[in-house]
Amino acid sequence: MTGLRALNELTLPHPDAATTIFNLKDYRVLETQILDYGQRRVHVESTVESGCPGCGVIGTRCHSRRWQRVRDIPVAGPVEVLWRKRRYFCDESVCERKTFSEATAQVPARARSTRRLHGALVDAVVSSGRAATETAIAHGVSWWLVQKALNMAATKLPDVDLLRPRMLGIDEHRFRSVRFFKNTETNTWQRIEPWMTTIVDLDTGQILGVVDGRDHTGVGAWLIKRPLDWRLGVQVVAIDPSAAFRKALRMWLPRTAVSVDHFHLIQLTNQALTEVRQQLSHKVRGRRGRAVDPAWAHRMLLLRAADSLSEAAKARLGKVFATDDPTGKLKAAWDVKEQVRTLLRTGSLEDAELAKADLERLVKESNQPETTRLWRTICRWWKEIEVLIVTGATTGKVEANNTSIKHIKRTGRGFVNSTNYTTRIMLRSAARTAVNFPLQ
């Protein structure tokens, strides 16, 4: 039996040059041709044993052979690959299958393309950031095969329920451009903003989930699907000042501390200062600001942190307050803005309380609707601000992922199918952050 098996085994101790160059595992090159239109044709056959899918017995008696065209990666240009595929008898008497076709790791049963082609397609789209259509044209395949390879790779994504994130970040991004739809019942046009919410592990930066919308319903539905021990393991969640996200977290993660993002608070503060500057221009000059107005010309200087200004910049800012702020309202709003920055830089809750008291005094002295509204926002989100000061948790890594998501959308010229869009987002994030994530 040993001698008989040795005679039937396909051994290749010293592969020939064509097989080495073609470099397809478990196959050897039989013949190569150059067709009339210049394309090359490569004839191959497998060099490994194949077992019956029903019983696993290795086939030894060949039933027949046929040629099968296999899609493969371009090797120094387009290549047409023909596989001389064997069909074996199943010698197991109790097996229902009488014959079976051979299969390999590179070309499994019923496959028409190699696994290395699938890996090259996924790597081109995910790692290199190329569009699926461009990748399909470069490899001489259809868009559907590229999408099939991406869907197969998505099945190997890490199971979110098996991860144990300690800190989460939640933020939204726009899925596609704003659209208007006509309501047939009311005969009115409605503005539709397609939003998606990204949930990120702040320790690793990996995207854990992408849900439709930016309300508490979508985030809450995603959180409730997670196991109880998974939710109990989350210690801190960083969000922007969104009441919808905070509502979802209070419902489904009631024991988790919520931190409000530092950048969004500064953004609200700068917005209040900008509104004060605009209102001042209308009251004093009766018009919008112009380049000849010092406050408008140095509008970006007003938004910068005071400790980052040079002496020349401080002199220009002082000139703005002296010549273009007759009511003192702009200087008062600028002091409020700087005090908010000071509050957010404090390192302890005691210092934060003192900075908050100083902020309240400056807001009362300013006595403006814009700064009063900002103060109310600070009070409503004070618990979350305290968590920010203690933990330092921000949505910075979520914003970084949103930037990558925008690149994916621009590369693909937009996406109509949200499922395909989400697949690319999850694959790109896993390839960048997950350890040893297989693309093939």
pLDDT digits (tens, 9 = 90+) for 44-99: 999 999 999 989 899 889 999 999 999 999 887 888 999 999 999 998 888 888 89
The residue range of the domain holding 67 is 2-111
Convert the pLDDT of each residue in 304-315 to its tens digit. Answer: 999 999 999 999
* Co-location of 97 and 193 in the same domain: no
What is the band of 104 on the pLDDT scale with cuts at 50, 70, 90? Answer: very high
Average pLDDT, the chain: 90
Convert the pLDDT of each residue in 324-343 to its tens digit. Answer: 999 999 999 999 999 999 99
Range with the poorest average pLDDT among 172-181, 294-303, 326-335: 172-181
Convert the pLDDT of each residue in 249-290 to its tens digit. Answer: 999 999 999 999 999 999 999 999 999 999 999 998 899 989
CA distance 149 to 427: 12
* Co-location of 96 and 54 in the same domain: yes
Share of the chain above pLDDT 70, in %: 95
Considering the domain boundaries, does residue 128 fall inside one?
no
* Co-location of 281 and 387 in the same domain: yes
CA distance 120 to 122: 6
Considering the domain boundaries, does residue 403 fall inside one?
yes
Q: Which two tokens stand for residue 232?
A: 């109990």
Residue 284, CA distances (Å) to 290, 301, 336 in order = 13, 21, 22
CA distance 263 to 396: 8
* Co-location of 426 and 349 in the same domain: no
Q: Among 357, 376, 391, identify where a domain stops.
A: 391
Considering the domain boundaries, does residue 67 fall inside one?
yes
CA distance 102 to 231: 47
* Co-location of 309 and 241 in the same domain: no
Q: 13 by DSSP, 3-state: which?
A: coil
* Co-location of 16 and 71 in the same domain: yes
**Residue 151, pLDDT score:** 93
Amino acid at 200: V
CA distance 192 to 213: 11
Q: What would the mean pLDDT of 109-123 be, rounded to a whole number?
A: 93
Task: Burial-class residue 191 by CB neighbours within 10 Å (0-12, 13-18, 19+).
Answer: exposed
Largest Cα–Cα separation, the chain: 105
The residues facing 100 across adjacent strands are: 88
Q: 307 by DSSP, 3-state: which?
A: helix
Say if residue 388's pLDDT is above 90.
yes
Q: Which residues contact 59 (CB under 8 A, 6 or more apart)?
A: 49, 50, 51, 52, 86, 88, 89, 90, 91, 100, 102
Considering the domain boundaries, does residue 193 fall inside one?
yes
* Co-location of 102 and 244 in the same domain: no
Q: Which two tokens stand for residue 158?
A: 């890490």
Q: Which two tokens stand for residue 422?
A: 């989400």
Convert the pLDDT of each residue in 202-222 to its tens digit. Answer: 999 999 999 988 889 999 999
Say if residue 440's pLDDT is above 90.
no
**Residue 152, pLDDT score:** 93
Residue 203 has phi, psi (to 5 degrees) of -75, -40
- Angle, helix 369-380 to helix 349-366, in steps of 10 degrees: 160
Considering the domain boundaries, does residue 132 fall inside one?
no
CA distance 117 to 128: 15
Nearest to 375 by CA among 323, 340, 345: 340
Share of the chain above pLDDT 90, in %: 72
Neighbouring CB atoms inside 10 A of 417's CB total 9
Pairing of strands 179-183, 188-192: antiparallel
**Residue 437, pLDDT score:** 64
Which strands form 207-212's sheet, in the order they lie side by side? 207-212, 195-201, 167-174, 236-239, 257-260
- Strand runs labelled E in 242-341: 257-260
**Residue 275, pLDDT score:** 96
Contact predicate 328/336, CB 8 Å: no
- Strand runs labelled E in 327-402: none
What region, left, alpha or beta, does residue 414 occupy, with left being phi > 0 and alpha being psi -120 to 50 degrees? left
* Co-location of 233 and 282 in the same domain: no
Say if residue 38's pLDDT is above 90.
no
**Residue 435, pLDDT score:** 58
**Residue 213, pLDDT score:** 86
What is the band of 439 on the pLDDT scale with cuts at 50, 70, 90? Answer: low
**Residue 424, pLDDT score:** 92
Range with the poorest average pLDDT among 29-38, 117-126, 141-150: 29-38
* Co-location of 183 and 289 in the same domain: no
What is the band of 191 on the pLDDT scale with cuts at 50, 70, 90? Answer: confident
* Co-location of 293 and 381 in the same domain: yes
* Co-location of 245 and 309 in the same domain: no
* Co-location of 56 and 106 in the same domain: yes
Number of domains in the chain: 3
**Residue 36, pLDDT score:** 79
Residue 273 has phi, psi (to 5 degrees) of -65, -40
Q: Among 111, 136, 169, identify where a domain stops.
A: 111
